[in-house]
Structure formats: structure tokens, C-alpha cells
């Protein structure tokens, strides 16, 4: 099965990173970091997908006819079985057909319950009521944490794969009895425009996963105080105007300015939750030498309730 890997082992048993491979600082052949499967290095490149301009970061991948070992972290089936065995609650279960279900409704209900309790806490209550609300809040937070962690672990395994079929053959996404395709749940940077369109058109909100590279982390002043913001690098595409490019801005917001302190620029980040899609807005390009004068931005925004809704894929 195809996997993108951030490191490999060379014939001298040295761990080879992306930067080392780019400098040809290794001895062939290369093997997977966690098993003896043979791998090769792929340099970064830029490609056009329709009107989208996509940058593909360098990575290691399996050589033809090689497979990861049964205990390897890049073995999708083996890792999902481990996650199902260790999962709490009913977010991930095995079906009679032998497949596994990721139940998004359980996650959405937990998120909504915690959001509602958070709003009640802000309004204030009597001491006895406050104590009860605190207990409910903690209880819901723990449940949400177990659901999110189970889902994120599945998604982290998915993020190692290049092809959807690796995990589609094993997992089904279920939301209130309806089975969802992976392409409408898990979005890489090349899919951000489609993700924005799907959310804008949706009549029912569903938790989704977005994976991308951190472009910036900053603290900004808002009307109600300071906010910490992560921005992911997104794709561009040609618009109907020669001097305008369409862009997608995926951002993650929190009033806790220390929430993102463990992340840094260029980390690959996986974010899971209920995203909002704002109106399209235009922004002038500050570069006077560029032929592009404006960016037409499509804004996707997540306000995580729990830190467990985010994780680094590698690094």
C-alpha cells in the first residue's frame, strides 16, 4: 500500500530525513523507518490539478511490489485494528461484514454538548448549579477527548496514505445512518476549494478532517480580546479575471493564546471538527511586481473545543 513517509533508513542504518535526502546524504538502498520494506525518495514538485496550483512536499514512498510489515505504523489495516481495540465509547466499532465504522454522529453530539455547557458556564450560575455544570463539563470533555483521540488516530494513519482505497476498503464513515465517502470527509490541501464548496452548500453540518502545512502562527487583537491563530498553506487557482487569483485560507482560532505553543511553521497539522465557511472576500496583493493584483479568498475556520482535535502528522 502506498505511503508518504517523512524519514527512512539507509544501508548504514542511519535515519535519513527529508533535508538529508535532498542533499543526497545517504547510502542506497533505503528502507522504511519501522520495517524492512524498500522505499525511495521523491523530490518536491509543483503540479496543476484543474485550475488549482499545488505544491507537493518531498517524501519517501514504498517501492513497487513492497508492503509494510504487519506491525509497522504505516500498515493501515494493522494500525486500524489496534485503534479499534483500544478505542473507548462507540465512535469506532466493527461491523458484521468485517469492516469498521467511524461514527461521526457520536463525535458531533459530544462537541455540541461541550459547546452548550461552555456557553452556560459563561452566563454564570449559583454555586451549587456551577458545581454541577463543572462536573458535566469535565465529564463531557473526557468523552469528547476519547472520541476525538480515536478519530484522530484513524486519520493520522490515513494521512500516511497516498490513495483513498487503502483505508476505504477497511473503514466506513457513518453519520446518522448515512454512509459518507472519504472524499467528503478528509481533505488535503489540493481539496480545500472543494471542501469550502461542500460546507457552503451543506444543509447538515458534519465533522470533517483537514490536513495541511502550517504557514503562520500569530496572536491578534479582536473585539473581545486576544486570539491565537494558525493559518495553513492553501492552493490557488485561476479566476475569471487575469489579475485575480482565487485562494483558500484555512485558519484555526482560539481565545487561549498558549493553545498552539507546541506547533511551529512548516509542521504538518491534522485538524478535526466542525468548520465554518465564510463569504468570499477580496484582498489586495502587496507585491507591486506581481501581475496578480488581488486575491479572492475562501475562508475556512475552526474553533476547536479540545486541544485533542489537532495533532502533528510528523516532525
Please state, for a pLDDT cut of 70, what percent of the chain lies above it: 83
**Full-prediction pTM beyond 0.75?**
no
> Is residue 81 very low, low, confident or very high in pLDDT (cuts 50, 70, 90)?
confident
Residue spans of the domains in the chain: they are 7-69, 92-168, 186-312
Question: For 10-25, how does the pLDDT look when each residue is reduced to its tens digit (9 = 90+)?
Answer: 999 999 999 999 999 9
The domain over range 186-312 is classified in CATH as 2.40.50? yes
pLDDT at residue 211 tops 70: yes
All three cell numbers of 309, joined, read 482535535
Q: What sign results for the dihedral spanned by CA atoms 56, 189, 169, 146?
A: positive
> Which of 134-138, 198-202, 292-296 is predicted with the least confidence, judged by mean pLDDT?
134-138
The chain-wide mean pLDDT, for the chain, equals 82
Measured in whole angstroms, the distance separating CA 205 from the mean position of its chain's CA atoms is: 17
The CA-atom distances, in angstroms, between 215 and each of 149, 198, 242 are: 24, 24, 26
Task: Write down the pLDDT at residue 137.
Answer: 47
Question: For 40-73, how does the pLDDT look when each residue is reduced to its tens digit (9 = 90+)?
Answer: 999 988 776 656 677 778 889 889 888 888 778 8
pLDDT at residue 182 tops 80: yes
Task: Write down the pLDDT at residue 88.
Answer: 65
Q: Are 95 and 104 in contact (CB under 8 A)?
A: no
> Is residue 315 very low, low, confident or very high in pLDDT (cuts 50, 70, 90)?
very low
Task: Write down the pLDDT at residue 50.
Answer: 59
Task: Write down the pLDDT at residue 19.
Answer: 93
pLDDT at residue 278 tops 80: yes
Prior bond of 127 cis (ω within 30°): no
Question: For 106-151, how does the pLDDT look when each residue is reduced to its tens digit (9 = 90+)?
Answer: 778 777 776 776 666 656 554 455 554 455 445 555 556 667 777 7
Cβ burial, residue 8 (10 Å; 0-12/13-18/19+): buried
All three cell numbers of 219, joined, read 496572536
Amino acid at each position: 500500500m502506498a505511503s508518504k513517509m517523512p524519514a527512512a533508513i539507509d544501508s548504514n542504518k542511519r535515519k535519513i530525513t527529508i533535508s538529508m535526502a535532498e542533499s543526497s546524504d545517504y547510502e542506497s538502498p533505503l528502507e522504511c523507518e519501522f520495517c524492512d520494506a524498500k522505499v525511495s525518495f521523491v523530490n518536491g514538485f509543483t503540479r496543476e490539478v484543474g485550475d488549482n496550483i499545488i505544491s507537493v512536499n518531498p517524501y519517501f514512498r514504498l517501492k513497487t511490489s513492497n508492503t509494510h510489515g504487519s506491525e509497522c505504523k504505516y500498515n493501515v489495516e494493522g494500525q486500524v485494528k489496534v485503534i479499534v481495540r483500544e478505542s473507548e465509547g462507540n465512535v469506532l466499532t466493527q461491523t458484521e461484514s468485517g469492516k469498521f465504522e467511524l461514527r461521526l454522529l457520536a463525535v458531533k453530539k459530544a462537541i455540541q454538548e461541550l459547546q452548550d455547557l461552555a456557553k452556560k458556564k459563561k452566563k454564570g450560575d449559583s454555586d451549587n448549579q456551577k458545581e454541577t455544570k463543572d462536573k458535566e463539563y469535565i465529564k463531557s470533555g473526557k468523552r469528547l477527548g476519547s472520541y476525538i483521540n480515536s478519530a484522530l488516530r484513524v486519520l493520522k494513519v490515513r494521512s500516511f496514505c497516498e490513495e483513498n482505497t487503502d483505508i476505504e476498503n477497511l473503514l466506513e464513515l457513518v453519520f446518522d445512518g448515512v454512509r459518507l465517502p472519504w472524499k467528503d470527509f478528509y481533505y488535503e490541501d489540493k481539496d480545500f476549494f472543494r471542501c469550502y464548496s461542500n460546507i457552503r452548500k451543506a444543509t447538515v453540518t458534519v465533522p470533517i478532517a483537514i490536513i495541511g502545512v502550517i504557514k503562520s502562527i500569530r496572536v491578534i487583537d479582536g473585539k473581545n480580546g486576544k486570539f491565537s491563530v494558525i493559518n495553513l498553506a492553501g492552493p490557488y487557482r485561476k479566476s475569471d479575471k487575469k489579475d485575480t487569483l482565487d485562494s483558500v485560507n484555512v485558519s484555526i482560532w482560539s481565545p487561549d493564546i498558549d493553545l498552539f505553543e507546541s506547533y511551529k511553521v512548516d509542521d504538518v497539522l491534522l485538524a478535526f471538527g466542525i468548520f465554518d465557511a465564510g463569504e468570499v472576500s477580496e484582498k489586495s496583493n502587496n507585491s507591486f511586481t506581481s501581475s496578480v493584483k488581488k486575491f479572492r479568498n475562501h475562508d475556512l475556520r475552526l474553533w476547536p473545543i479540545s486541544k485533542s482535535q489537532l495533532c502533528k502528522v510528523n516532525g
